[in-house]
Amino acid sequence: MAKILIVGNKGMVGSSIERALKNNSENQIITVSRSELDLRNQSAVNEFIKQKKPDQIYIAAAKVGGIYANSKFPADFIYDNLMIETNLINGAFNNKVRKVLFLGSSCIYPKFCKQPITEETLLTGSLEQSNEAYAIAKIAGIKLCESYNIQYASEYGIDYRSVMPTNLYGEGDNYHPMHSHVIPSLIRKFHEGKINKTESVVVWGSGSPKREFLYVDDMAEACIHVMNCKRDVFESVISTNCSHINVGYGEDITIHELSMLIKEIIGYEGNIIFDTSMPDGTPRKLLDSTKIKSLGWRPKTTLENGIKKTYDYFINS
C-alpha cells in the first residue's frame, strides 16, 4: 500500500490525479485544502508532511491563469509558485519522502524555438513576456528537483521527477471571464452567446497562433505512469541536467480552427470576431513527446471528444 499526498487536488489536474489513483483500492490518498494549509508557509508545510508521512507526493498545486492574469499579476505568480514548490520539495526531502512528481508547464520554453519543442530547448532563449514570471517559477521547480537528485539521490535514495504538460482542459477547469485559459474561455463565450442569442462572439488575438491541447484525464494517467516508472527505465530517457519529461497530445491547431470547432460543438449560430488589438502570445507551441511515449504512455482522448466532455461538465456544473 502506498500513502500518496496530492497537493492541489481541488484543481483540474490534481482532482483528475485523485480520481485516477482512487481506482486502486490499495492506495491511501492524502489531500489538504487551501484553508487547512497555506503552502507558502514553510514551517507549516514541513510539519504537515512530517505528520502525514507520505511515500509519494504529487505537486499539482500552483497559482495559474491565462494571458490577462499573468500580465496583470506577475509578482503574485512568481512569488506564490516559488514558495509553493520550494516548501513542498524541501519539505519532502526533510521528511525522507523518496518520490516526488512536480508538474510544470510548457510555457517554460523560449518564445521562438524549433517545433516540436524538445526538453533540451529549456533555457536556450527568451521567454514569452506575458507569462515570464510564471514560467521562471516553474523552471525553478524543475531545477530544484534536478538539484536535489544530483546532490542527494545516491546518498538518500530520493527520486524527484518533473513533467511538462501542454495546454490542458477538461473537468474542473476555470471558466472565469478574464482569468481562464483559451478552451474554457471559448466554451463560456460561445455558450453565453448561444443562450443570449448574440450576433457575434469576440475572440482575443488574430486566431493564427497554433496550440496543442491535452485532455486532463490523459494527463493524470501520464503523471501516474511517470511516477511509477522503474528508475532505470526512466533514467534511460533523461539526462542528469535535463530530467523533465514533456507530455503532449502530438498535434496542434490554430486558435481560429479551435474557435470554429467549439462554436460547432456548442451550437452557436452567430459570427466570430478576432480582436487583433489583443495579444497573440507565442506563435506556436507543440511539444515533442517522444520520451514519454517511449516509456509506454499514449493519449486516449481526441480534441473533439474531449471538448464535448468538457462542455457537458460545464453545463451540468
Q: What is the rounded average pLDDT of the residues 298-313?
A: 97
Lowest mean pLDDT among 216-230, 278-292, 295-309: 278-292
Whether 5 shows a pLDDT value over 90: the answer reads yes
Query: What is the reported pLDDT for 149?
Result: 98
Q: Look at residue 174 in the predicted model and tell me its pLDDT.
A: 82
Positions marked catalytic: 134
Residue written as cell 486516449? 300
- pTM to 2 decimal places: 0.94
pLDDT tens column, 112-157: 899 999 999 999 999 988 889 999 999 999 999 999 999 999 999 9
Q: What top-level class would CATH report for the domain 3-172+213-249+287-300? A: alpha beta
pLDDT in tens, 47-88: 999 999 999 999 999 998 777 788 899 999 999 999 999 999
What does the domain layout of the chain look like in residue ranges? 3-172+213-249+287-300
Q: Is the dihedral of CA 179, 182, 185, 189 positive or negative?
A: positive
- pLDDT at residue 280 above 90? no
Let me know: does 174 contact 11? Beta carbons within 8 Å: no
Mean pLDDT of the chain: 95
Q: Would you place residue 179 in the very low, low, confident or very high pLDDT band (cuts 50, 70, 90)?
A: low
Task: Name the band, by pLDDT with cuts 50, 70 and 90, for residue 240.
Answer: very high
Quickly list DSSP for the chain: --EEEEETTTSHHHHHHHHHHTTSTT-EEEE--TTT--TT-HHHHHHHHHHH--SEEEE-------HHHHHH-HHHHHHHHHHHHHHHHHHHHHTT--EEEEE--GGGS-SS--SSBPGGGTTSSPPPGGGHHHHHHHHHHHHHHHHHHHHHHHHH--EEEEEEE-EEESTT----TTT--HHHHHHHHHHHHHHHT-SEEEEES-S--EEEEEEHHHHHHHHHHHHHS-HHHHHTS-BTTB--EEE--S-EEEHHHHHHHHHHHHT--SEEEEETTS---SSEE-B--HHHHHTT------HHHHHHHHHHHHHH-
- Work out the number of other CB atoms within 10 angstroms of the CB of residue 169: 23
- Each residue's pLDDT tens digit, 242-266: 999 999 999 999 999 999 999 999 9
Cα distance between the two ends of the chain: 34
